[in-house]
Amino acid sequence: MLYVAERKTHLLSAGNIKRRWLCALFAVLILMTMLLRGEAIIFADGPGDQAFRISHTTAAGADRDAQSPDVAYNAEDNEYMVVWVGNGLAGADLRGVKEIFGQRINAATGAAVGAEFRISNMSDKGKNRSANSAQLVYNSAAHEYMVVWSGSGDRSAPDEVFEIYGQRLSRTGSKVGDDFRISNTTDLGKVAGSFVRASARPDIAWNIQDNQYLVVWDGMGQPEDAVKIEVYGQLLNGTGGALGKNFRISNTSDQGVDFSATGAVAAYNSTNKQYLVVWSGAFKEKNQIEIWGQGLTAQGAQVGAGNGDFRISRVATGGAGPERDAAAPQIIYNNSANEYFVAFHATGPVAGASGDYVTEVLGQRLNGATLALAGANDFRISNAVGPKNGADNPRVAYNAQDKEYLVVWRGTRTNAPYELFGQRLGLNGNEIEADFQISNIAAVAKDRSVNLAAVASSSARGEYLVVWQGDALPGPANKKVNEIFGQRIKPSAGRRP
């Protein structure tokens, strides 16, 4: 906020005291109105006014930036840990090198705790190596975080660079041991003797009962001379040691060589002691994409008959038309109702508007014990206005204190910057309020935008932290220079699910 110094005699004037009293009363009336309507309240008491900056990658150079954040909550210290991908290493020769960085955030104030720090060390083995797609969880049994990412390099680099890696962090952000390799996709050799196999886009879930992790990713892990992308997994013990070998989870390519599974995410069910992994994959037609799931026991065995895969979304066959497809799934487990909640976006043509397509965020609840679909199928969460507006790339968190979900997404709009929006949902999936805007990058400039986001819930205060990448730094030279920003959100106390 901008504060202006005033003379003491002016502050004590009767007219100014009256004006201040009226302003305060007006503010209270606005707040009461928001509470009665059940609207989300956006905090302004964190660093900065409304949204606050988390990363400072441009300190290494004006041409650097930060991308693809994730966030986890540590209830013991009432802190968040935010991680992201950034080319923030000093030195002109490291301009194209991406590593994983982190920052602790005080959950009560939004203030940074300590300095930013580096997590991955991919480029230590060569400047052509980089780290991408970081994800993390907090392990309350060991009082530490586990961060996973995909390591990549150019085609001339040794094959093991296209793999999934991990790093343990103490609750203060210091490294526990060295980073370690999780996937072994490239051990099968190159496809047709030339194309390097790859593992990418990991996710991680923590099993609280056994103090174990499940890491999942997209991989070309089949020995056939064909590029088949499936979802693979690896169980890890509490110190990151492998429990068994990499194993295949999805079976999408069984339908044909042109079918694939991508974008895997996982959640752990502490009630039934099992995992649910979801992803997007083709169904019957290679260009007809749906959301799929596979249940796994705590030991990694498939749950269910046959190959275990089952379809979660019905966007192409639910009456909306075969032109629709679903992608970008996210999952959270709700132990209050023993349910999983899956959010995803689906694309389809606008009714009566030939050639126009719109994307909205949809949701699906699943019974935690049986994995059966619960409630309405593919229910709509976002409510973009206008045929050329849309919503995509959702993220979801569960607030156990208020027994509600928060789904956030990127909103695409005509003649306006992309912004982040949100919607609170009750346990039955019903909307609690109208969609609300979270970011306000248009206040910086009309040619700016936000992109990938993440969200976590604070069990201590019933709040959320939403983080995202955006080119919100002022000045024309900073267009397309991304940093990570955050916004604290608290559900109103005037309305409960």
Token pair of 412 as six digits: 């695409």
Question: CA-to-CA distance for 162 and 191, rounded, in angstroms?
Answer: 13
pLDDT of residue 84: 98
CB-CB contact of 222 with 150 (8 Å)? no
Summarize the confidence of residues 343-348 as an average pLDDT. Answer: 91
Question: CA-to-CA distance for 280 and 344, rounded, in angstroms?
Answer: 9
Answer yes or no: is 496 within a domain. Answer: no
**Mean per-residue pLDDT of the chain:** 84
Number of H-type helices and E-type strands within the chain:
2, 30
pLDDT of residue 288: 81
Answer yes or no: is 1 within a domain. Answer: no
Determine how β-strand 463-470 pairs with β-strand 450-458. Answer: antiparallel
Best CA proximity match to 136, nearest among 68, 204, 74: 204
17 vs 153 pLDDT, higher one: 153
Question: CA-to-CA distance for 105 and 112, rounded, in angstroms?
Answer: 5
Answer yes or no: is 477 within a domain. Answer: yes
64 class by beta-carbon count within 10 Å (0-12 exposed, 13-18 middle, 19+ buried):
buried
- 256 has a pLDDT exceeding 80: no
Output phi, psi for 116, to 5 deg.
-60, 150
pLDDT of residue 221: 78
Output phi, psi for 208, to 5 deg.
-70, -35
- 332 has a pLDDT exceeding 80: yes
End-to-end CA distance of the chain: 33
pLDDT of residue 226: 63
Summarize the confidence of residues 105-120 as an average pLDDT. Answer: 96
Output phi, psi for 470, to 5 deg.
-165, 155
429 class by beta-carbon count within 10 Å (0-12 exposed, 13-18 middle, 19+ buried):
middle
Question: CA-to-CA distance for 226 and 59, rounded, in angstroms?
Answer: 44
Please, which pLDDT band fits residue 36 given cuts at 50, 70 and 90?
very low
- DSSP characters for 140-187? TTTTEEEEEEEEEE-TTS-GGGSEEEEEEEETTS-EEEEEEE---GGG
Answer yes or no: is 29 within a domain. Answer: yes
Lowest mean pLDDT among 180-184, 197-201, 231-235: 197-201
46 vs 327 pLDDT, higher one: 327
Report the predicted TM-score, pTM, of the whole model to 2 decimal places. Answer: 0.88
Structurally, how many domains does the chain consist of?
1
CB-CB contact of 295 with 305 (8 Å)? no
Question: CA-to-CA distance for 467 and 454, rounded, in angstroms?
Answer: 5
User: Reading across the β-sheet that carries 199-207, which strands appear in turn?
Assistant: 199-207, 212-219, 230-236, 242-248
Output phi, psi for 148, to 5 deg.
-125, 155
Token pair of 409 as six digits: 């997404």
Output phi, psi for 227, to 5 deg.
-85, 90
Token pair of 218 as six digits: 């997209």
Summarize the confidence of residues 348-369 as an average pLDDT. Answer: 78
Domain ranges, residue 172: 8-490
CB-CB contact of 363 with 381 (8 Å)? yes
Answer yes or no: is 486 within a domain. Answer: yes
- 27 has a pLDDT exceeding 50: no
pLDDT of residue 109: 92
Lowest mean pLDDT among 116-125, 193-202, 315-324, 336-345: 315-324
pLDDT tens string 376-422: 999 999 998 766 789 999 999 999 989 999 999 999 877 889 999 99
pLDDT of residue 145: 98
- 115 has a pLDDT exceeding 80: yes
Please, which pLDDT band fits residue 126 given cuts at 50, 70 and 90?
confident
Element (H, E) at 310: strand 310-311
pLDDT of residue 492: 60
Report the CATH number at residue 302. Answer: 2.120.10.10
Question: CA-to-CA distance for 262 and 282, rounded, in angstroms?
Answer: 10
- 7 has a pLDDT exceeding 70: no
pLDDT tens string 424-464: 999 999 999 999 999 999 999 999 999 999 999 998 878 99
Lowest mean pLDDT among 130-144, 251-265, 465-479: 251-265
pLDDT of residue 257: 72
Instruction: Report the percent of the chain where pLDDT is more than 90.
Output: 61
- 204 has a pLDDT exceeding 60: yes
- 239 has a pLDDT exceeding 80: yes
- 41 has a pLDDT exceeding 50: no
pLDDT of residue 40: 44
- 481 has a pLDDT exceeding 70: yes
322 vs 68 pLDDT, higher one: 68
Element (H, E) at 9: helix 8-11
pLDDT of residue 38: 36
At 339, the amino acid letter reads: E
- 190 has a pLDDT exceeding 90: no
Residue with tokens 């009226």: 22
Question: CA-to-CA distance for 427 and 151, rounded, in angstroms?
Answer: 38
Answer yes or no: is 495 within a domain. Answer: no
Summarize the confidence of residues 145-170 as an average pLDDT. Answer: 87
- 312 has a pLDDT exceeding 90: yes
